[in-house]
Amino acid sequence: MKINQIEDLHCDAGWRVFSFLKIVTDEGLIGYSEYNESYGSKGLTGVIRPLADSLIGMDPRAVERISATLYGQTRQAPGGMISQAIAAIENALVDLKAKALGVPVYEMLGGPVRDEIRLYWSHCGTYRLHHHEILGVKQLNSLEGCRELGKEVADAGFTALKTNMFLFDNAEPQVVRGRELYMPGFSSAPGMEAGRHSRLWDLALNPDDRVKTAVRDQLMALQDGAGPGVKVHLDINFNFKTEGFLAMVHELDDLGLQWFEIDTYDPSALRDIRRSCKTPIASCESLYGRRHYKPFFEQHSVDVAIIDVPWNGILESLKIAAMAEPYEINVAPHNFYGHLSTLMSAHFCAVVPHLRIMEIDIDDVPWKDDLVTVPPVIENGYLKLPTGPGWGADPNEEVIRAHPPRR
């Protein structure tokens, strides 16, 4: 069996693009993976293709050997898009090999320890601030809307949700139509135009009382609507420096959240934040490989290590998870992409004993289910393990081509 064709596929996904790698063999077997260029990785396809094209004529079943070879060829530029590119190739090869064996990927990885996976509704409310028309739902623009959304999550059977930080009319900076996604760590920098962006940057180091109050009100409204059976996570992300993270966790530590999700590349700072509060800390979603995760484990910086399967590859993700276990650290996948990514992450979750919970986006474009041949099965907030060979579904190329990216 030899690789004889490589192809990349892309489709419109509303406010971003879903991308897929396709590896074809001379025997007609096809392996797929999902990757993403829309969040800090623009140009990733251009990194993937030279590496993938170099595999033409090779046996795709030697997955570890191919991954090690690609890592060796790029050793002087590790991490970043190089790691994402190798991961996309590795994931497609794993899918192909499992199909060649006629088994689900998780059977090739030792077999499942669970047949269903507890989910949390991620970006709860976030996309409804500005993408409600694409989603076909009512715009979220008030605390009362947060209460209604919390109830919707509970009524759908979910036992957990994750939200970002929102500002409504009562918080500065004043925003158009009275609602804003508060993400100063992503949207501004010194020297940008005056006005809202510059004020957001001023607040990035240390949120003032108005911001802290607005986020507290938002979380309490979601909790009120969802009821005690739904745990709330707050994604603070990269939006503050250490001083600002401390201010937020101290303000919100009494709310009984399931975790604060905090992103920082300094394991010592995160360790100190974790020690200062009683709410668990989740982090690491933007890290690559065991070397990046190692200091966070050694310093006990996190309660939950978040691992991105499309960014790291499922084999490396499992190695990271295995490294976390001796430090008594649970793991959870970073999964806010399309359905193929959800299935890829589900196979990871299936074989990891110390899994905390799995992320999934529920609010999404109306054609998302049609982009795969078998959409994930979700019942009462749990994902049923796929049973078909490989990932259990393939991208639907006809539908993908019917929704070309909007450039």
C-alpha gyration radius of the chain: 21
Burial zone of 254 (CB within 10 Å; 0-12 exposed, 13-18 middle, 19+ buried): exposed
- The answer to whether the peptide bond before residue 376 is cis (omega within 30 degrees of 0) is no
Rounded CA separation 260/277 (Å): 10
Q: Which pLDDT tens digit goes with each residue over 83-125?
A: 999 999 999 999 999 999 999 999 999 999 999 999 999 999 9
pLDDT, position 184:
83
Rounded CA separation 287/124 (Å): 24
> How sure is the predictor about 203, in pLDDT bands with cuts at 50, 70 and 90?
low
Share of the chain above pLDDT 70, in %: 92
Q: Is 197 a residue whose pLDDT tops 80?
A: no
Paired sense of beta strands 17-25 and 3-12, if any: antiparallel
**How far lies 18's CA from each of 164, 197, 230, 391, in Å?**
22, 28, 30, 17
Q: Is 365 a residue whose pLDDT tops 90?
A: yes
End-to-end CA distance of the chain: give it in Å, rounded: 37
108-388 in CATH: which number? 3.20.20.120
Q: Is 177 a residue whose pLDDT tops 60?
A: no
What is the crossing angle of helices 339-351 and 314-324, to 10°? 40
pLDDT, position 210:
87
Rounded CA separation 111/350 (Å): 8
Q: Are 356 and 283 in contact (CB under 8 A)?
A: no
What is the crossing angle of helices 314-324 and 289-298, to 10°? 20
Q: Give the least confident one: 32-41, 179-188, 319-328.
A: 179-188
Query: Residue 136 — φ and ψ, nearest 5°?
Result: 75, 35
Q: Is 171 a residue whose pLDDT tops 50?
A: no
Q: Within the chain, which residue ranges are assigned CATH 3.20.20.120?
A: 108-388
Structure token digits, residue 259? 């975790």
**Burial readout 37-72 (b: 16 or more C-beta within 10 A, e: otherwise):** beeebeebbebbeebbebbeebebbebeebbebbbe
Would the CA dihedral through 57, 61, 65, 69 be positive or negative? Answer: positive
Average of per-residue pLDDT values in the chain: 93
More confident residue, 315 or 211: 315
Q: Are 318 and 108 in contact (CB under 8 A)?
A: no
Query: Residue 331 — φ and ψ, nearest 5°?
Result: -130, 160
Q: Give the least confident one: 66-80, 244-258, 316-330, 337-351.
A: 66-80
Rounded CA separation 179/128 (Å): 10
Rounded CA separation 124/21 (Å): 29
Residues in the chain, total:
407
Nearest to 310 by CA among 349, 279, 262, 345: 345
Q: Which pLDDT tens digit goes with each residue over 337-361?
A: 999 999 999 999 999 999 999 999 9
pTM: 0.94
The CATH classification of domain 3-103, taken from the options 3.40.50.300, 3.40.470.10, 3.30.390.10, 3.30.70.20: 3.30.390.10
Q: Within the chain, which residue ranges are assigned CATH 3.30.390.10?
A: 3-103
